[in-house]
Chain A
Amino acid sequence: GAVVSQHPSRVICKSGTSVKIECRSLDFQATTMFWYRQFPKQSLMLMATSNEGSKATYEQGVEKDKFLINHASLTLSTLTVASAHPEDSSFYICSAGDRPYEQYFGPGTRLTVT
């Protein structure tokens, strides 16, 4: 299957700093990527759909000024958590697919804000 990578796998930052997470499709091109957040013992919650060359589409309740998404190329989408606070601590996962209806997930990024 297709391979999606994320970097970094873990990040610890101080409250008020911004954190950038990268999502790459390694062996295919993805015009669309998805960003999810997962809190402990909970399921994945879709945050936004990242579209190459255009603005991301955010789910209801997700602040677009706080979670900045840039999909600058067909293999890279970035999520920047602006001015992170402890409540933003979570597991962030991206997904992409090279075929309709098949999504491949990255390994996730564990963000801890102190």
Chain B
Amino acid sequence: SQKIEQNSEALNIQEGKTATLTCNYTNYSPAYLQWYRQDPGRGPVFLLLIRENEKEKRKERLKVTFDTTLKQSLFHITASQPADSATYLCALERGGQNFVFGPGTRLSVLP
């Protein structure tokens, strides 16, 4: 069956460290994958998109990797700040601009 997993429901890290979030999927073949940030009671905010032929994508302090062999994407936030605390969702394309979302990881950056 098809499944999307994100490494942990919650992750706590110290300010200044690099946060690494994992998205693993089974029985999907996405042409691209996205990462979103969601704050409580708000809609998700688009962060990054990475295509299947791209190994890595960067945007400011964010870095995403995509390994289609391992069926895994890693999302890194370097020099993390308390303001980075939020839930991060990965989303897989499944055709027609249609996405399926992972369960999310709630990141807490402690001062």
- A residues contacting B by CB (< 8 A) are 1, 4, 6, 32, 34, 42-46, 49, 91, 93, 95, 97, 100-108, 110
Q: Which residues of A contact B32 (CB under 8 A)?
A: 101
Closest to A6 in B: B43
Question: Apart from A101-B32, A103-B97, what 17 extra A-B contacts exist at CB < 8 Å?
Answer: A1-B46, A4-B43, A34-B97, A34-B99, A42-B103, A46-B100, A49-B96, A93-B43, A93-B44, A100-B97, A101-B97, A103-B34, A103-B46, A105-B43, A105-B45, A107-B42, A108-B41
- B residues contacting A by CB (< 8 A) are 32, 34, 36, 41-46, 49, 89, 93, 96-104
Q: Which residues of B contact A43 (CB under 8 A)?
A: 89, 101-104
Q: List 11 A-B contacts (CB under 8 A).
A: A1-B46, A42-B103, A43-B102, A43-B104, A49-B96, A49-B98, A93-B44, A100-B97, A101-B93, A101-B97, A107-B43
Alpha-carbon distance between A34 and B98 when the two chains are bound, in angstroms? 8
B21 CB, nearest partner CB in chain A, Å: 14
| Residue among B46, B49, B102, B104 facing the most chain A CB atoms (10 A cut-off) | B46
